[in-house]
Structure 1
Amino acid sequence: MRFAALVLTVCLSLPQAVRAECRLALALAMDVSRSVDAKDFAIQTQGLADALEAPEIETALFAPAGDVALAVYQWSGEEYQEVLVGWTEIREPADLGPVVALLRGLKPPELRLNTALGRGLEFGRDLLASAPACERRVLDVAGDGRNNAGPTPERIYALGGWEGITVNGLAIGSHELQLPDYFHASLIRGPGAFVELALRHTDFPQAIRRKLQRELTEAVAALDCPEAAGGAPRSCRIFR
């Protein structure tokens, strides 16, 4: 009896394997401006849903380092930003089900508006201000064009409120040449910020999967940009 009691005491005194608190608040911003037609919209929403269910993304989401809080919104013109998924803490696979189901059921907006990238950024900043308390805050902005309405990203950054926020970009290069360079110069900011590239809208599903894995895994986010197939570098330069 004394031996059993001693074993129980030792076991209770050992550190328990528990998940840490929230490690990442991740806001995903989707471009639905007039250059994104219904087919492109479906590729983006279904591609994001598929990525969230991919084995490597689920492994990164449910790492023992801590939970992830996720939000999704869409943006286009100066007055159009809409939250699709409010802040949802992803603690277990069951938490992903409603998010994925919502994404798969989305329809494109009827309004065909300009590309107010600055206002889309501003909305993401304010959304992150309402996020759960997490160690890191990341805004993931996908877009297929430069700002052509409202204040520029530079102007929005100059207004402040970006402390502790990393902004990454996913440039969809179908419509505008040198869009990755524009995202490097005007969009991304913060520790470890980078640009991922989808040459066409059809490349979005693979690009968002790569991007999510890097954002969800701090060790990966700190690495140099991996090479694409064939040895050609992708446009995902990291700013340290």
Structure 2
Amino acid sequence: MSEYERLTQRDGYVSAFLHPDILWSIESGARGRIAVTYLEWAGPNYQHVLIPWTVIDEPGDAARFAGALAATPLAAEAGTSISSALAASGNLFATSSLKSDRWVVDVSGDGPNNVGPPVAPVRDWLVNNGVTINGLAITLPRRSEADVAESFGEGYLETYYEDCVIGGPDAFVIGVHDIAWFEVAIRRKLVREIAGLPARLMTASYRPRSHPVVDCFAVGQAPGR
């Protein structure tokens, strides 16, 4: 990701956890609380827990989580190893002492898996162990020629996430193509995940198909993203 995308992503999650809609979805859930951790990732050798498992059941918890996330410096790591990030997420579930009715990975990125193990087998392993994986596919326009990351064509990354990344009961992907909608997209995604809402609504770019259209075992075309 470019620095612009990383900052936008981080700010979007910070704002989301301060929004009343998130608190409402937590309070209206089956247990009235959630546990959340924030994992920053890039290439196969970089998966870093910025915020450890944190139980949120009242506004103060959410504010502290958001504040801690906002205060963490941005990293400048290269590579897009979704497979390694998913494997690290599975390890976080396995080593947690928390008990939960649902386990959900919220993965966001701006490109396909381009380094590390193939993503589909890792996805399948998590899904077979009861984990739901949802995606936020980021394809923002380049701000300048100096930006390292180029956006993929509109719709491609959502298709890739649908075929290769997401999985489990009611899994879904949301595409973000406009910076103005980034915060809203993150908030709606988190509300839907926390509340456990069924995937009744499809994004505008959704196209029903009878078989996958992406080769999940092919790496991305832009190494180092």
The equivalent position to 1:126 in structure 2, one of 91, 109, 117, is 91
**Alpha-carbon distance, 1:226 to partner:** 5.6
- Match for residue 146 of structure 2? none
Is the Cα contact below 8 Å between 1:172 and 1:197 reproduced in 2? yes
1:87-109 CA-partner distances (Å, limit 9, x unpaired): 11112111122211112122221
Alpha-carbon spacing, 1:234–1:212, altered in 2? closer, same or farther (3 Å) = farther
2:108 partner amino acid? A
Match of residue 22 from structure 1: none
Q: Tell me whether 1:152 sits opposite 2:118 in the alignment.
A: yes
* Match status 1:197 vs 2:175: yes
Aligned CA distance change for structure 1 residues 161 and 217 (closer, same or farther; 3 Å): closer
How many Å separate the matches in 2 of 1:64 and 1:196? 22
Question: Structure 1 or 2: larger strand share?
Answer: 1
CA shift for structure 1 position 110: 3.3
Cα offset, 1:114, TM superposition: 1.1
2:44 and 2:190 map into 1 onto residues whose CA distance is 27
| Alpha-carbon displacement from aligned partner over 1:57-78 (angstroms, at most 9, x marks no partner) | 1111122521211111111001
8 Å contact kept, 2:29–2:194: no
* Secondary structure of 2:134's aligned partner: strand
- For residues 24-61 of structure 1, the C-alpha deviation after alignment (integer angstroms, 9 at most, x for no partner) is xxxxxxxxxxxx22222221111111111111111111
Deviation for aligned residue 1:236: 10
Higher relative contact order (CA 8 A, sep 6+): 2
Structural mapping, 1:161-200, within 5 Å: 162-174=128-140, 175-177=151-153, 178-200=156-178
Instruction: Give the direction of change, closer, same or farther, for the CA distance of 1:202–1:222 in structure 2 (3 Å limit).
Output: same
| Equivalence for 1:42 | 7
How far 1:235 moved relative to its partner?
Answer: 4.3
Q: Which residue of 1 aligns with 2:198?
A: 222
Q: Which runs of 5+ in 1 are unaligned?
A: 1-35, 228-232
In 2: Cα distance, 1:50 partner to 1:222 partner = 24
Residue aligning to 1:52: 17
Counterpart amino acid of 1:215?
Answer: E
Establish whether residue 68 from structure 1 lines up as the match of residue 46 from structure 2: no
User: In the alignment, what sits opposite 1:115?
Assistant: 80
Judge conservation of contact 1:225–1:236 (CA < 8 Å) in 2: no
Distance 1:161 1:205, change over 3 A: closer
Aligned length: 194
Unaligned stretches of 5+ residues in structure 2: 141-150, 209-225
Normalised by the length of structure 1, the TM-score is 0.74
* 1:146-205 Cα shifts (integer Å, max 9, x gaps): 011011111324556841100001111231120000000000111110001111455321
Matched, 1:80 2:56: no
Alpha carbons 2:29, 2:195 under 8 Å: kept: no
**1:208 maps to which of 186, 189, 201:** 186
The 8 Å contact of residues 123 and 166 in structure 2, kept in 1 or not, is answered as: no
Identity of aligned residues (%): 30
- RMSD across aligned positions (CA): 2.1
Secondary structure of 1:192's aligned partner: coil
Q: Identify if the C-alpha distance between structure 1 residues 46 and 97 changes in structure 2 by more than 3 Å, giving closer, same or farther.
A: same
Give me the whole-angstrom Cα distance separating, in 2, the residues matched to 1:153 and 1:134: 25
